[in-house]
Amino acid sequence: MTANELYVKGARIWISDPEAIWRGAELLEDYKGPGQIKVRYEDGEDSVLAIKDKNNLPHLRNPEILIGENDLTSLSYLNEPEVLYNLQVRFMDQNIIYTYCGIVLVAINPYADLPIYGNEIIQAYSGQDMGAMDPHIFAVAEEAYKKMSRFEQNQSIIVSGESGAGKTVSAKYAMRYFAMVGGSQAETQVEKRVLASNPIMEAIGNAKTTRNDNSSRFGKYIELSFNKKNEIIGAHMRTYLLEKSRVVYQASDERNYHIFYQMCASSDLPEFKKFQLMAAGDFFYTAHGGDPIINGVDDAEDLGDTRDALLLLGNYQNLGKSIDAIGYLSLKEAVYMDVCQSSH
């Protein structure tokens, strides 16, 4: 259809706005070419919109019946304001964080724990086609698992997004799904060992930023291995571009890596006595950002999870040197501070 046929009186449009980003409106007259056209916003405000040429026409809105669709490719008009509005309706009005865009799963981080990742949900998605169930990270994982087992071909899931989008959690839930559906009675310990890598990597490679309390400060590639029975038998992880500068410097309202705070919160443990640890707020390396505490997070409890994971993997003793290095870094700073104070 031509622009003159689409942009007629009553047509619903989106108009960019410096504050609201996009405002819904409708045309009060037919579009007849470059010039000015009268519009009325949803709140009743009348205005005049300047149209330079056809390339400058406002985005069209979808009919109400399509609002809230679980697949963005089902929309008649797929443009920026329609994508944002559809996601907003699903998240704000329907309390749904997942939406498809073809084979891509769009996820909105709710910054809250949701009861949609239990074993019963995993069982519900197991064996189902991707389009037969509501959008979910488990549906994507099931699709990859099914294609791997049916066609015996390697599969990849790319988890991308800006800081705070929820990449770490999404990858964690995908791994949990594979561990559950690809498990066996004889190898239950293998699945536990695969999942045990999460608290370890988060302790050493994650930190609080202004946008995310548990931000991964490195990239990672996780490879899961399955046998001919499609049972998970192991995993391998490669890491990239660790933010090393965070060890000695953090921006305002940010923290160093979690492991430092976990150790300081557990300074009474026998293996940490030799480090003479103090509260995290007493060290420059852990207090530089001015916000060493994360609301709702128990660093001592998290260290327990880290230790349990290391013990399960059989790496607690092997990682002892790394833990010692972290501890002695804090001890060295404590001695340096003491010497400086004595010199004044």
- Annotated binding residues for ATP: 161-168
Which residues are paired to 35 by β-bridges?
51
Residue ranges of the annotated binding site are: 161-168
Tell me how far apart the alpha carbons of residues 294 and 137 are, in angstroms, rounded to a whole number: 27
Tell me how far apart the alpha carbons of residues 218 and 64 are, in angstroms, rounded to a whole number: 42
Q: What are phi and psi of 61, to 5 degrees?
A: -100, 155
Q: 169: closest CA among 144, 137, 125?
A: 137
Q: 57: closest CA among 5, 115, 130, 125?
A: 5
Tell me how far apart the alpha carbons of residues 197 and 193 are, in angstroms, rounded to a whole number: 7
Tell me how far apart the alpha carbons of residues 31 and 268 are, in angstroms, rounded to a whole number: 75
Q: 338: closest CA among 264, 263, 286, 283?
A: 283
Tell me how far apart the alpha carbons of residues 26 and 10 are, in angstroms, rounded to a whole number: 6
Reported in sequence order, the residue ranges of 104-184 that DSSP labels E, i.e. its strands, are 104-107
Q: 261: closest CA among 296, 229, 293?
A: 293
